[in-house]
Structure 1
Amino acid sequence: MATRQLPEASEIFLDHVGHFVADIAAAERALRAAGFAPTPFSAQVAPTGEGGALEPTGTGNVCAMLGQGYIEALAKVADTPLGRELEAAVDRRAGLHLAAFAVADAASFHAGLAEAGFPTRPLVFMRRPVDTEEGPSEARFTVARVERGAMAEGRIQALTHHTEREVWQERWLTHPNGALELLGVVVVSPDPEEAAGRFGRFLGRPAERAGADSLHVELSRGHVRIVGRTTAAALFGGETPEPPWIAAYGLRVADRAATIRLLSEAGLAVRIIDGAALVAFPAELGEGFWAFVEDRDALPWL
């Protein structure tokens, strides 16, 4: 399992997950209350039209940066196609709608998606302003996306980071809840076999049987677990959205007991499952769950 922040050669990492929210300021407060130290708000831009002039993408974010990977909360900030797409997703259900995977060469990965039969959108050369301790700078990414609907679970994309130092600034990596690493993401599907085959094609990794209605895609860093209704109900209870949806992600923390104390003091209900603390997101972050563990193998879906 790679421990570098960014992949090399043919490696693929679970890079970040994204909450689509209606109110980015409320989402930032909810992250802070849960013990994260979110970055300042940033509006995203990308070159569009003739001459490649930078224009707003229509979305903006705050992030909780981790020693490996990160968490993003995204909201509509302008009336653009991407902003309206996010707004429509929030109207259906606020919560996890994005899983992004880091690759060394987004352009090559994009070509591979087309060869694998996915309808693709053009590569996006995205930027967002960031403040560093040395002064203003920007974060730059190349993003490979499939057409809407090609991955029914949400916005499933790959990207290449070009500005690691600007994105993972040391001052944003320490969190009161002890969060250290993004470990994996759980997708609930009405047809886990079909979804796992599709994720396997997208990620270029085999999907392996992990239970009666569970399949698993292991990455160079991180994983995707695809489960059906029965396993989802056992993990998360019956009052959850109709699949498909991105339901949860796992986080490694330094001290699970300390994390549980902080979350409980914040008024969040914590359910202990063996070595994991399962916590429903506060409403400001939408529907879904965190699983906090000290050891990856303690994740309840593993």
Structure 2
Amino acid sequence: MGHDIVRLHHVGHIVEDMAQAITLYERLGFRVPPPSCPAIPRHEGGEPEPFGTGNTHADFPHSFLELVAWIQDGATDRLPDDTRIVPLQAPAEVLPELVERIRETSANVAERLEAFQGLHILMFSSPDIRSAAARLSDAGVRHGGVNTVRRPSDTSDGVTTVRYLEIDDAPDAGPGAVTEGRVGVVAELDPDIQRAGLLDHPNGAVDLVDCVLCVADTELVATERRYEARLGRTARQDGPARVFELDDAALALVPASRLDELLPGERPAALPAFVACTVAVRDLDRTEALLRRNGLPVRTTPSGDLFVPAEAALGAAIAFRQAGIGDTART
């Protein structure tokens, strides 16, 4: 029987200045389109208004990196002038609940940004999100249920449907959040939609393959148990980290006292925190040359990955790994 969570869907990098973040990601070698800002009627029959967060993606065939900026009371001053306003579509009977969920998520983003810029969002990908939701409930993992939103797209019918759930099983976190940020599950990306994106990144990136969660040493065992329930998998020891292997990616849990062994020179801005993510690239040597050409500091991990430290990348270490044959074949 297959797993209902198979890979990393995306990580979210929450930033103060979207224009600055886009410039950084372009220097990192990613192609990043203009950001979009959702708009939704606050009540039935109302006009769509900017709401929640503005975002953009560095897309890959099966995953993406997300840049997120908070929109305060409909203001878009944190977003570039070329930001696209995108009305969301939802049935009238679910609109109030959807608005409330977005409001809760937005409040969580604002709270996280106040703490520090960096990775605060981790979403996993599921081929059967309703089965995943049922398993989570059976395992005692509290979540908000499967939400469905429709938004304009470049597909034949002009609309794409997104189904997702947010986990909120941490006792000291609010709805739609856990202690380390926003964590959830999203239905797998539509390959046709992904192929329409900007996939030819100058750095050769082809997939999101790893995320690192740093926790207090005393919280490592409890955190591992929570993720065992969330992922339906067990972790293995790999150097300083406890690693959950997915089908095409991994989540690494590392105690704060050993983070330097995994990512030399890195220090968490808070605990717990997602401190790094890794993308697979076609040619690691060419990626390194591009990073150095663009004036970015580059460090090497004990396993041979390259990474730009968090202090140079708006609070998140961005790592690069040589893609394997399977990684490049999927592009």
TM-score normalised by structure 1 residue count: 0.83
Cα deviation for residue 169 of structure 1 reads 2.8
Q: Is the 8 A contact 1:47 1:126 kept in 2?
A: no
1:224 corresponding residue in structure 2: 251
SS in 1 for 2:58: strand
Give the 5 Å matches for 1:181-192. 181-190=207-216, 191-192=219-220
SS in 1 for 2:52: strand
2:321 corresponding residue in structure 1: 293
More strand by share: 1
Indicate how the Cα distance of structure 1 residues 271 and 9 shifts in structure 2: closer, same or farther if over 3 A, else same: closer
2:307 corresponding residue in structure 1: 278
1:107 aligns with 2:130: yes
Aligned with 2:146 (options 100, 105, 123): 123
Q: Tell me, in whole angstroms, the C-alpha distance in 2 between the residues paired with 1:142 and 1:267.
A: 39
Percent identity between the two aligned chains: 28
Q: Which amino acid aligns with 1:270?
A: V
Q: Which amino acid aligns with 1:36?
A: F
Compare CA radii of gyration and give the structure with the larger one: 2
Indicate how the Cα distance of structure 1 residues 67 and 48 shifts in structure 2: closer, same or farther if over 3 A, else same: same
Between 1:252-261 and 1:38-47, the stretch displaced more is: 38-47
2:182 corresponding residue in structure 1: 155
Indicate how the Cα distance of structure 1 residues 169 and 207 shifts in structure 2: closer, same or farther if over 3 A, else same: same
1:177 corresponding residue in structure 2: 203
1:146 corresponding residue in structure 2: 167
C-alpha RMSD of the superposition: 2.9
1:202 corresponding residue in structure 2: 230
1:82 corresponding residue in structure 2: 105
Q: Which amino acid aligns with 1:206?
A: T
Aligned with 1:13 (options 7, 10, 22): 7
2:88 corresponding residue in structure 1: none
Q: Tell me, in whole angstroms, the C-alpha distance in 2 between the residues paired with 1:50 and 1:210.
A: 52
Indicate how the Cα distance of structure 1 residues 162 and 170 shifts in structure 2: closer, same or farther if over 3 A, else same: closer
Cα deviation for residue 249 of structure 1 reads 1.3
Cα deviation for residue 108 of structure 1 reads 2.6
CA displacement, residues 34-91 of structure 1 (integer Å, 9 cap, x when unaligned): 110013312236798779x977651121101113311111111253332222111011
How many matched pairs? 284
Cα deviation for residue 162 of structure 1 reads 6.5
SS in 1 for 2:200: coil
1:4 corresponding residue in structure 2: none
Q: Which amino acid aligns with 1:228?
A: P
- 5+ long unaligned stretches in structure 2: 74-102, 325-331
Q: Which amino acid aligns with 1:15?
A: H
Q: Tell me, in whole angstroms, the C-alpha distance in 1 between the residues paired with 2:56 and 2:319.
A: 21
Q: Is the 8 A contact 1:47 1:125 kept in 2?
A: no
SS in 2 for 1:172: coil
Q: Tell me, in whole angstroms, the C-alpha distance in 1 between the residues paired with 2:72 and 2:192.
A: 28
Q: Tell me, in whole angstroms, the C-alpha distance in 1 between the residues paired with 2:279 and 2:189.
A: 25
Cα deviation for residue 25 of structure 1 reads 2.2
